[in-house]
Structure 1
Amino acid sequence: MKTIDQLMNLDKAKIMFDLFRDEIPEFLSYTQAIADKVANDKEELLANWTNPFLSYHQWLQISEQVNSAIKKYGKNLTKSGSLFTDQLFDGYLAIFSNHCLEQYSINKAQSPKFKLAIDLFYLPVQPINNRNYSYIVLELHGVPEHAVIATDEDGNNRVFDSRADADAEASDCQEGLIVEI
């Protein structure tokens, strides 16, 4: 068996399918509802879009592909863990499907253990103590698709222990975005 750090999207989705099979039909309906919202609320989403890594149009395309797979395979997705994972969690589709899993666990999941499993597999580890965070700076170069991590003279990614240092680096960029790690 793989350790939790070795699990990939397909592995995590398969475990969720196996452990919470009763949740899968409602999760699929919820995912379709989110995909419909992405398609139907274009103006609102575009006006409030803040994701530096994906454009709204990329998000729309991924959501449409996931929605199409759910429509195509229907109830078969609730019967086969392999089909479920291959159609919804392979490659870029996992970005949207994982988002839907997280939102489903917060808003709709029937089992409290489902939410715990999502927290375990998908959400970042929250610090137990008050440790200091580190920061990286992304240079967006005008569009999120061209974002790169700020590097030093040798091409190594720069990691800042101080928010003030990260702010200074970001102000030197054409369009800098600070990310807490």
Structure 2
Amino acid sequence: MKTIDQLTNVEKAKIIFDLFRSEMPDFLEYVNTIAEKIASSEQEMIANWNNPFLSYQQWLNLSYQVTGVIKRYANGLTKSANVFSEQLFGGYLAIFSNHCLEQYGLNKAKSPRFALAIQLFYLPAKEIEQQSYKYLVLEMHGGPEYAAICTDEDGNTLVFDSREDAEKEAADCQDGLVVEI
């Protein structure tokens, strides 16, 4: 048996499906609702877009592709763990499908165990004791494809213990972005 860290997106989705089959119709409806909201709120979403890795247009395209799969495989997605996991969580579609699954699990799931399963499989583990985070600053240089981690004069990566210090450094950068690590 694989450890959680060794499971692929498809394998995680298959396990979630097998454990919570009754949640799948509501989850698929939720995905369609999210996709509709993304498409209908274009101007608002573009104005507030802050994802450095995907543009709004890429996110919209992923949502269209996922809803296309839902239409194409309709009943098969609620009846077969293989169809569900391979069609929605294989390849690039997993980016959007995983996001929807996380949001559904944390905010809409009927079963409290579903929320726990999502936390187990998808959310980063947090230290039980002192939760101390470190921060990197990315300089975007006009877009995510040109992102670079900020370094000091000697070329060493700058790692900040305080978000405030990281924010100050980001303010000095061209399109700086603070990333929690």
| TM-score of the pair, normalised by structure 2 | 0.89
Q: Distance in 2 between matches of 1:157 and 1:91?
A: 32
Measure the CA separation in 2 of the matches of 1:143 and 1:26: 36
Q: Which residue of 1 aligns with 2:166?
A: 166
Provide the secondary structure at the position in 1 that maps to 2:160. coil
The answer to whether the Cα contact below 8 Å between 1:55 and 1:144 also exists between their aligned partners in 2 is no
Which amino acid in the other structure matches residue 89 of structure 2? F
Q: Corresponding residue for 1:149?
A: 149
Structure 2 partner of 1:39: 39
Distance 2:179 2:19 in 1: 34
| Structure 1: gaps of 5 or more residues | none
**Residue 128 to residue 23, structure 1, CA distance change in 2 (3 Å):** same
Between stretches 162-171 and 134-143, larger displacement belongs to 162-171
Alpha carbons of structure 1 residues 52 and 79: separation in structure 2 relative to 1, 3 Å: same
The equivalences for 1:60-79 within 5 A come to 60-79=60-79
Count of residues in correspondence between the two structures: 181
Distance 1:87 1:155, change over 3 A: farther
The aligned counterpart of 1:107 is 107
d(CA) in 1 for partners of 2:16, 2:43: 34
Unaligned runs of 5+ in 2: none
Determine the C-alpha separation between the residues in 2 that align with 1:114 and 1:25. Answer: 14
Q: How many Å apart are 1:63 and its aligned residue?
A: 0.5
- Percentage identity across paired residues of the two chains: 64
In 1, the alpha carbon distance for the partners of 2:126 and 2:141 equals 31
Corresponding residue of 1:48: 48
> 1:38 is aligned with what amino acid?
I
Mark the CA change 1:108 to 1:166 in structure 2 (over 3 Å): closer, same or farther. Answer: closer
TM norm structure 1? 0.89
The equivalent residue for 1:89 is: 89
> By how many angstroms is 1:107 displaced?
2.8
After superposition, the C-alpha distances for 1:35-62 in whole angstroms (9 at most, x for unaligned) are 1111111112112212222111010000
Q: Tell me if structure 1 keeps the 8 A contact 2:106–2:118.
A: no
Deviation per residue, 1:55-77 (Å, 9 max, x gap): 11010000000000000000111
Cα pair 2:35 2:64 within 8 Å, conserved: yes
Q: For residues 106-125 of structure 1, what are the structure 2 equivalents within 5 Å? A: 106-125=106-125
Q: Give the aligned partner of residue 59 of structure 1.
A: 59
RMSD: 2.1
